[in-house]
Chains A and B, each alone.
Chain A
Amino acid sequence: MPEVVVHAKAVEKKYRDVAAVRGVDLEVFRGEFLTLLGPSGCGKTTLLRMIVGFEQPTTGRIVIDGRDVTEVPTYRRPIGMVLQNLALFPHMNVQENITFGLLTRGERKSAALQKATQMLSLVGLAGFGHRLIHELSGGQKQRVALARSIVLEPSVLLLDEPLGALDLKLRQQMQGELKRIQRQVGITFIFVTHDQEEALTMSDRIVVMNAGRIEQIGAPQEIYDHPETMFVASFVGDTNVFAGRAIATAGARVSVELPALGQTVEVQGRGITPGMAVNVMIRPEFVALDDQPGAPCSGQVTDRTFVGADIRYSVTVGNQNLEARRPHRPEDRMLAPSATSGVTIDWANGIAFPSAA
């Protein structure tokens, strides 16, 4: 059983009558890279701010390192935080930003300076100690923000969408960098993002949140392959959704009638009883387009997007729109928009969820 660093117990946060976080229970394990993922307004930032102590839970407790810190002010909690806008001190140079926490803690200046130097080389900014904050690039600022928190060796480091302001290329580079640094120092990271791709690439575990609640907690692959709710399925990764009706169930399998295709298919599904209205999700990579005859149904290509490694197609089957994706090979012939194609769906990877209605 891994050691729990942060434990949010039945945490609720209400602003006047509006609940931002509702009854969240969450355990964060030592050394893991945990991501809180969800659309804006889902409560992930509020949860983070309660863990760091900027906000007080309306009810529930926050426990860090086995100590109830619900009433403890931020500056006495064993945490670090990289804020969304980084909050670097503009009137201090890089080195002063990094030693700020150490000196606050009462460490000697020489020791603090030595640690700062080490930390700068860890984040790849060796020799930048005397630079002024406004002289740094976006990525360099990220590294300084990270360094000044990590140097304090907090039990847990909270990161509130720190990469949001960067352009894509730099962002991807920083994602890898962040992951590397986290492994190297072994500090527990709680990372907040609304970007599912970022969550998938970096996390050990992902907590998907929606409307103030946790929808699912799991490893990235688990979240992607086995979403537990329709929300997770549609928020993490691309997906096609078919409305249908369950006809029969057998263990974790369920037969669903799909009026849009005029077919009955067998997909995965739990907690479903026959006769129930369901939504069936199927990821684009399980939708195969081939122009050979013999496919169960045929559709018309409406759009085609070439993204390098993949080609994404939009196809209309009956009156249902479908997204399909297939790896690109130079020798393959691309389907032209408005071409007719056979459509084969690997239903074994489909999942049925009770429809909300």
Chain B
Amino acid sequence: MRLSRAAFLLLLPVLGMILSLGTGVFALIEQSFVGADGLSLKAFQAFVSRREAMSVFLYTHQMALLVSAICVVVSFPLAVFLVRKQNQAYVLLIMMPLLVSIVVRTYGWMVILGPRGLINAALMGAGITTAPIRLMFNTTGVVIGLVHIYIPFATLSILTVYSKIDRSLVDGAAALGAGPWRVFSRIILPLAMPGVIAAASIVYLLTIGAVVTPLLLGSIQQMMLGSMIYDQMLVTFDFPSAGSAAIILTLSAALAILPLQLADRWVTRKLPAERS
């Protein structure tokens, strides 16, 4: 293919982007493999041998699992509701939080969940508890914050698939004697599964990379790998550690997503391939 000079000029910004982004990534990868004494896996060995690093790593994946499970369970009925309503205004309502920065929204949660926040003030005011309940600066807070942020993503990915399910399949199944539960479990859920899997994958990946929410709504035991990498990069300039942690994070995320991708193939194996 021959490119005209003008077309080539148009490619320049893209090239610049790839160069500037790619160089950084490449440098990080290089620094994590190349030590003072040549090529080595020292940075990785160091990561694996640090108990707290492994603990943060495991906690990160646990959170990703938990948050994506909750997001899917909450988003499914939400998506069904939105499709039934047939009203764009509701979809807009779900999208609206995306317009507000995560930091602002997370600070909002602090006002609600904090020891002197709305919920505790109400509970103590009503005499239900005498001491504030811990709703933040622990896993609960991080989960609430992350679920809240990722629900629009999960809802939209389920919604796009769910809305394409032919309503007449429900009628058809009912006429074959299937009650609501069987219609849901055998017709709706299997057909919506690609959306559910997409939602779970997206939320899993987003959670794995979360930085701000665990920092603000968790305490120090809720440190997630994203925050750790951030510190290593920007506070202590420990590039080999940051690089190896980032590579471990990326690879483990890919590994975690793999079963979901296989599941997607499995659930769609009988559907036409041109399905969008």
Contacts and interface: CB of A to CB of B under 8 A. Distances in A.
Question: Do A and B touch, yes or no (CB under 8 Å, in the complex)?
Answer: yes
B259 interface: no
Interface stretch (A80-88, A194-202, A246-254, A296-304): A80-88
A100 B166 contact: no
Contact of A132 (B171, B186, B270): B270
A101 B268 CA distance: 22
Contacts of A104: 176-178, 182
Interface of A: 52-54, 73-76, 79-81, 83-93, 100-101, 104-105, 132-134, 148-149, 152, 158
B178 A75 contact: yes
A105 to B, nearest CB: 6
B169 A87 contact: yes
Contacts of A76: 177
B270 A90 contact: yes
Q: How large is the interface on B (under 10, 10 to 19, 20 to 34, 35 or more residues)?
A: 20 to 34
Interface centre among B166, B171, B177, B272 (most CB of A within 10 A): B177
Contacts of A86: 172
B176 A91 contact: no
Contacts of B179: 73, 75
A91 B270 contact: yes
B77 interface: no
Given A85-B166, A87-B172, A89-B169, A152 B177 contact: yes
A158 B178 CA distance: 17
A91 B190 contact: yes
A134 B175 contact: no
Interface string B179-203: 1001000110011000000000000
B236 interface: no
Given A91-B270, A93-B270, A100 B178 contact: yes
A79 B187 contact: no
Contacts of A87: 166, 168-169, 171-173
Nearest to A134: B272
B181 to A, nearest CB: 10
B93 interface: no
B174 interface: yes
B172 A81 contact: yes
Interface centre among A53, A80, A81, A104 (most CB of B within 10 A): A104
A104 B171 CA distance: 15
B25 interface: no
- The 4 A-B residue pairs with the shortest CB-CB distance in the complex, in nearest-first order: A87-B172, A101-B176, A81-B175, A134-B272
